Chain A
Amino acid sequence: MFKKLLTTLPLMAALALPAAAQEFPDRALRIVHGFGPGGNADTVARIVAEEMSKGLGQPVVVESRPGAGGTVASGYVSNEDPDGYTMQLMVGGHAVAAGLYESLPYESVDGFTFISTLGQFPFIVAARSGEYESMEALIAAAAAAPGTIKIGHSGVGSTQHLTGELLDLRTDADFLHIPYKGGAAASTALMGGEVDVVIDTGTVIRPQAEAGVYDILAITSGERWPDAPDVPTVSETVAEGFDVVSWTGIGMPAGVPDEIADRIRSEVHAALAATSVNDMISSLGAQPSPSTGEEMTALIEDQISVWTDVIESAGIEKR
């Protein structure tokens, strides 16, 4: 029985191969991500997967491989077969990890075929209502009294944390950076008066700003953000050229054949055009951002160099 199986298996595989080449995809695909079930990444992956499976005519399964800020998942995906059946939902942390980790089980750029970004989002600099007139006033205060004005952030090595450190580097300010477990905890600390500033996403900041609890001082993107055209950028107020946006995107293992990568890219773009995906991404405070593989690669390369610099100059412990 077993012998029979052994002889027939290669035969079956040989028969299956040309078919696979002709008709991609002929079986289920999967989107791997590095975060817990139920988190934002998981939800985005599920909604994108559902849309993509319509276009691909095959189920798209979401697989969560959490651990070490998403690097466990990246290591896993990077070592998978580049046959087009394994995708990864990546986040801005992928670029941060390149600078933050002593060694990674993958190459951050060369280990992947980048498909397209899904959404991009800026961070918002906020303080308790009435505390600071403007971004300029905050930076002036932080420069006048070094090490006393506190920024609460969502965890050491988070993009939020590094954005705060980057403010230190690009301006005269010298903030005290206080780690919390997640943006919600940092926001609570801002409300309670334990810290003076929080830099986080719109989902954390906006509800409080609309209720008049926080003042929004600036936004971290290089240009003003379409959703909030009245909010000045950090770049135009205190640090010219300051440009931080985080992102989510789809990547695959390096070496995926071009025609398969293109097929997946067009499906990703089609999914992004669907209302469910669009709504989800917007509700997270992001702009849907279909891109080419080259654009995504350039974005990641750029961010790796910025964050590596910030991590070194701020003296953040490597892992």
Chain B
Amino acid sequence: MLDQFILGLSVVMQPNVLIYAFFGVFLGQLIGVLPGVGAITAISLLLPVTFYLDATTSMILLAGIYYGSQYGGSIASILLNLPGTPSSVVTCLEGYPLAQSNRAGLALFVAAFSSFLGGMVGVAVLVLAAIPMTVIALKFGAPEYAMLVIIGLLAASMIGTGSQIRSLAMVVLGIALGLVGADATTGYYRFVAMPELADGISLVSLAMGLFGVSEVIRHASRRPMRGAAPLSVSMRDVIPTRAQAKSLVFPIVRGSSIGSFFGALPGTGAAIASFMAYAIEKRFSRKPEKFGTGHLPGLAAPESANNAASQTGFIPTLTLGVPGDAVMALIIGALILNGIIPGPRLMVDQPELFWGVIASFFVGNIILLLINIPLIKLWVLLLRIPYQKLYPMILLMICVGVYSHRTSVTDVLLTLAFGILGYLMKNYRFEPAPVLLGFVLGPLLEDNFRRTMLLYGGDFTIFVTRPISAVLFVCSVILIVWALWSCLSLRRKVARTSP
């Protein structure tokens, strides 16, 4: 494996290739910062350019945009509570409180560094285990996905900081919103009030509305208070202390492993990985009450997870020629335009392309770290602008971002409506993150559960007779028992202390 990787490095280190790797990640980073403008928009605009490049270079360029945007996504989330991608929703949870308490620089540093480490772990998994991971991914059928999503939903109920009932209610609201659109199993239209809703509510407009717009409304309804808050941008406040760094080691290890695993499963991807990483971190933490207030491990774990996932997300694309999501489909499209048919033979027929692209991830992650650290100062300065001068621009960017996603005005209006909803929710202490998780996972569960029923003639035992599914089933039972037990023991404690 290693000599092939070195072959790949020799491809990337050619100056004319390296410049495109740099350009790709840099552009991705920029695109990621703009809320709502996804990698997909940038890649589709650059697709014609790849006519003039060879296949390897085009692939390196487009892939760079993709994982570069994952880095950029965390910046708007931390500074302005604007999650550009679903996976950076979790970044908001800890990152934004950090920024609010004048620790934006530290948050950005931790996010960039854990992204880097996560990305590197992802690349290592790609180099060492692409083929075994492919074999495992292919073993995941509908029953396995259904069980996996159930575990995800259980984890979702642990994400909230407030009462369990409230966060459960929000998960259900998310699932309900996820029902809008054509039913994937029968094609029947559910809650399609207007034809624009036939494809469902856009995740981007839900996320932008609940997080970004609601925050703008909240600020607008308050007296401006920040003004000239003393903002420290000295490097000492940006770099974590030794103790802080130490507390991040295991979260990053766990986050990267979770991310690497979920990324390799086609169709689940970075969003679920980062939610899972966050939930697990909270569960394992000795101070779960600190989550939601700007707790660094809660930032580092999901950041490393989503970047690891965006690297291993290339596993099905590169080893099978099967795109895991819409962005991957575009990248494969670029290869086809270059006359290369991506498929299982890619690794054998085009070793320079295959390993060149993987090596470019390695180089690209280093470039990203190098451009991110010096930029932190600049980003923090953005917070010096009084919020009331910033928010018209934020709203404009949100509108443009949401519109660019599906070129739909309905989406923009929905975003504003979700903003009002998010504002009301916040006023009544309901949290938006579980809504998003329900929205992402609900349809996935329904889809895979019903597909399982179709495939196996409505036989429920299939969930425990298939080995992987059975293991996942046991895990979810353990999670439920654990939750019940800790709930009961808490109640007993309360009963004992109160006379």
In the complex, identify which listed stretch (B107-115, B271-279, B447-455, B478-486) lies at the interface while the others stay far away: B447-455
A176 CA to B329 CA, complexed, in Å = 27
Q: Which of A24-80 contact B (CB under 8 A)?
A: 36-40, 42-43, 46-47, 50, 63-69, 71-72, 75
Q: Which of A64, A150, A176 contacts B407 (CB 8 A)?
A: A64
Least CB distance from B114 to A in Å reads: 30
* B205 CB, min distance to chain A CBs, angstroms: 14
Please state if A319 and B188 are interface contacts (CB–CB under 8 Å): yes
- Residue contact A207 to B344, C-beta cutoff 8 Å: yes
A residues 116-160 touching B (CB-CB < 8 Å): 150, 155-157
Question: Closest CB-CB distance, B187 to chain A, in whole Å?
Answer: 4
Query: Which residues from B are CB-within-8-Å of A71?
Result: 195, 198
Which of chain B's residues has its CB closest to A47's CB?
B48
Stretch from A8-16, A187-195, A236-244, A255-263 that touches the partner: A187-195
Check B182–A319 contact: CB distance below 8 A: yes
A: number of interface residues (CB 8 Å): 56
- Report the nearest B residue to A67, measured CB to CB: B196
A207/B342 in contact, CB under 8 A:
yes
Tell me how far the C-beta of B327 lies from the nearest C-beta in chain A, rounded to whole angstroms.
8
**Cβ of B341 and Cβ of A66 under 8 Å apart?**
no
Check A156 against B408 for contact (C-beta < 8 Å). no
Closest Cβ of chain A to B333, distance in Å, is 7
By beta carbon, the residue of chain B nearest A204 is B322
Is there a chain B Cβ closer than 8 Å to A213's Cβ? Answer: yes
Do the beta carbons of B185 and A179 come within 8 Å of each other? yes
Residues B438-491 near A (CB distance < 8 A): 447, 451, 454-455
Q: B184's contact among A37, A65, A155, A184, by CB below 8 Å, is which?
A: A155
Contacts of A69 in B (CB 8 A): 198
A206 at the interface (CB under 8 A from B): yes
Instruction: Indicate if B191 sits at the interface (CB-CB under 8 A).
Output: no
Q: How far is the CA of A208 from the CA of B188 in the complex (A)?
A: 32
Q: Check A6 for interface membership: any CB of B closer than 8 A.
A: no
Q: How far is the CA of A155 from the CA of B138 in the complex (A)?
A: 20
Q: In angstroms, how far is the closest chain B Cβ from the Cβ of A126?
A: 13
In the complex, chain B residues whose CB is within 8 Å of the CB of A283:
336-337, 339
Known contacts A188-B316, A188-B320; A40 and B333 CB within 8 A of each other? yes
List, in ascending order, chain A residues with CB within 8 A of B379's CB.
none
Chain B contacts for A206, CB-based, 8 A: 341, 343
The number of residues on chain B lying at the interface, defined by a beta carbon within 8 Å of a beta carbon of chain A, is: 50
Instruction: Say yes or no for B406: interface residue by CB 8 A criterion.
Output: yes
Q: Which residues of A contact B51 (CB under 8 A)?
A: 276
Are the CB atoms of A156 and B199 closer together than 8 Å?
no
Query: Given that A192-B139, A194-B141 are contacting pairs, would A319 and B189 also be in contact in the complex, using a CB cutoff of 8 Å?
Result: yes
Contact B41 A213 (CB under 8 A): no
Also in contact, A208 and B343, with CB within 8 A (given A46-B48, A72-B196, A188-B138): yes
Q: With A and B bound together, what is the CA distance between A178 and B329 in angstroms?
A: 22
- Check if A188 sits within 8 Å of B266, measured CB to CB: yes
Chain B residues in 8 Å Cβ range of A65: 407-408
- Interchain CA distance A150-B23 in the complex, whole Å: 45
For the complex, is A274 an interface residue (Cβ under 8 Å from B)?
no
Minimal beta-carbon separation of B447 from chain A (angstroms): 7
CA of A66 to CA of B182 in the docked complex: distance in angstroms? 14
Tell me, rounded to whole Å, the shortest Cβ–Cβ distance linking A128 to chain B.
11
Q: A71: nearest residue on chain B (CB-CB)?
A: B195
Do A43 and B47 contact each other (CB < 8 Å), given the known contacts A184-B323, A207-B343, A317-B186? yes
Q: Which of B196, B266, B322, B337 has the most CB of A within 10 A?
A: B322
Q: B40: which A residues are within 8 A, CB to CB?
A: 36-38
Contact B451 A210 (CB under 8 A): no
Residues of B near A66 (CB, < 8 A) are 199, 406-408
User: B187–A208 contact, CB under 8 A?
Assistant: no
**Contact partners of A192 in chain B: CB under 8 A:** 138-141
B245 to chain A, nearest CB (A): 40
State A63–B404 Cα separation when bound (angstroms).
11
CA distance A208 to B342 in the complex (A): 9
B4 at interface by CB-CB < 8 Å = no
> Can you identify 12 A-B contacts, CB atoms within 8 angstroms?
A37-B44, A42-B44, A43-B47, A65-B408, A66-B406, A105-B195, A156-B185, A178-B455, A181-B447, A203-B336, A213-B343, A317-B188
A interface residue numbers (CB < 8 A to B): 36-40, 42-43, 46-47, 50, 63-69, 71-72, 75, 100, 105, 150, 155-157, 176, 178-181, 184-185, 187-189, 191-195, 203, 206-208, 210-211, 213, 276, 279-280, 283-284, 316-317, 319
List the 6 closest A-B pairs by CB distance, nearest first. Answer: A207-B343, A38-B44, A156-B187, A68-B198, A211-B344, A192-B138
12 new A-B contacts, CB < 8 A, other than A37-B41, A194-B141, are: A36-B406, A43-B47, A155-B184, A176-B454, A179-B185, A181-B184, A181-B267, A203-B336, A206-B341, A207-B344, A210-B341, A317-B188
